[in-house]
Chains A and B, each alone.
Chain A
């Protein structure tokens, strides 16, 4: 039992440095929540309910912009479609876990938890579970605290700084860091161009049109190259 506890503690310790990249996210999200016009507690409830920075940011920014619920939710979900890949990669590891953990575990499956716990995929099921929960619960707690703190800090910043512009800057960072070969850059270019051309469509639906156009363009380019 002490073994399990120390494994969980190791997970918690490993989670701490991994949280650093999430800090700017939390800050921008806090500002976006306060700028969205939603009740602060309602906006913050997205942290425990959705628990995914990019999805939360997308949803709250679009809702604040007056987007339709269906468009905002669809956009928020496709932003985090990579979770499907995590789920698929984790499935064999979770096969050896008890049912309760197969239900509870996925809730904590964010990028950093995936990266850290995959390194322990070959350990004993009980040790893996302890480590996963150590990382997952620590990361979750930090996210709850960080997003709440950012909502307090955000509004203190003078309005003229226009901190809301940090949202597109951060998404640009995510975009560029995610591009590891040129068809992805082409897909991004097509997506941006189509979104701008479709900017007149109601409820920001040009966003979805642009995203789909980019995905199709990327696949076609990859196919053409063989």
Chain B
């Protein structure tokens, strides 16, 4: 039930974030500090999310050579190609190859 609550709350919040200026503040200008802060939301949250996923349930680092090399290659691919699909494919390929090598 708490999962449903979380989904509904996120849904309301997401709708609100898309609607707020259209519905209410059409002619107001957004303050500059707020605009600046929003520019940094994306990179910061994404980086924090990736870091969270490399940590195990007890707070220990749960990433080996396969994970780390895959993410480095993914970052390079994303930087060079700006293509999600290619980055996903390349990163996963490195992950599988390095893991298979480690298992030999």
Query: Do B85 and A23 have beta carbons less than 8 Å apart?
Result: yes
Closest to B88 in A: A24
A187: Cβ under 8 A from any B Cβ: yes
Residue pairs across A and B with Cβ atoms less than 8 A apart, 25 shown, are: A24-B88, A42-B7, A46-B7, A49-B8, A55-B14, A73-B6, A76-B13, A79-B45, A84-B17, A88-B30, A94-B26, A95-B26, A103-B23, A107-B19, A168-B49, A169-B70, A169-B88, A171-B50, A172-B71, A175-B50, A177-B78, A185-B43, A214-B44, A218-B43, A219-B36
Residues of A contacting B99 in the complex (Cβ-Cβ under 8 angstroms) = 162
Q: How far is the CB of A105 from chain B (nearest CB, A)?
A: 7
Q: In residues 41-71 of chain B, which contact A (Cβ within 8 Å)? A: 41-55, 57, 59-61, 67, 70-71
Residues of A contacting B84 in the complex (Cβ-Cβ under 8 angstroms) = 21, 24-25, 170, 173-174, 177
Seed contacts A21-B84, A170-B84; 5 additional CB < 8 Å A-B pairs: A66-B57, A171-B50, A178-B42, A199-B61, A218-B39
Q: Give the contact-size bracket for chain B.
A: 35 or more
> How many angstroms between the C-alpha atoms of A28 and B87 in the bound complex?
13
The majority secondary structure among interface residues of chain B is helix
Query: Do A82 and B21 have beta carbons less than 8 Å apart?
Result: no
Query: Do A191 and B51 have beta carbons less than 8 Å apart?
Result: yes
Interface size on A, residues (CB 8 A): 98
Residues of B contacting A63 in the complex (Cβ-Cβ under 8 angstroms) = 3, 6
Query: Do A214 and B67 have beta carbons less than 8 Å apart?
Result: no
Closest to B41 in A: A81
Q: Knowing A91-B26, A218-B43 are in contact, say whether A80-B4 is a contact too (CB < 8 A).
A: no
Residues of A within 8 A of B (CB): 20-21, 23-25, 28, 38, 42, 45-46, 49-52, 55-56, 58-59, 61-63, 65-66, 69, 72-73, 75-88, 90-92, 94-95, 102-103, 105-107, 109, 161-163, 165-179, 183-185, 187-196, 199-200, 204, 206-208, 210-215, 217-219, 222
Closest to A164 in B: B53
Return the contact of A73 from the options B13, B21, B36, B61 (Cβ within 8 A): B13
Q: How far is the CB of B94 from chain A (nearest CB, A)?
A: 9
Closest to B48 in A: A210
Question: Which A-B residue pairs are the 6 nearest by beta carbons?
Answer: A214-B44, A218-B40, A106-B19, A175-B46, A210-B48, A188-B47
> How many angstroms between the C-alpha atoms of A75 and B43 in the bound complex?
13
> How many angstroms between the C-alpha atoms of A105 and B18 in the bound complex?
9
Pick the most buried of A23, A90, A175, A219: most chain B CB atoms within 10 A of its CB. Answer: A175
Query: Do A214 and B21 have beta carbons less than 8 Å apart?
Result: no
Query: Do B91 and A172 have beta carbons less than 8 Å apart?
Result: yes
Query: Do A106 and B23 have beta carbons less than 8 Å apart?
Result: yes
> How many angstroms between the C-alpha atoms of A171 and B52 in the bound complex?
11
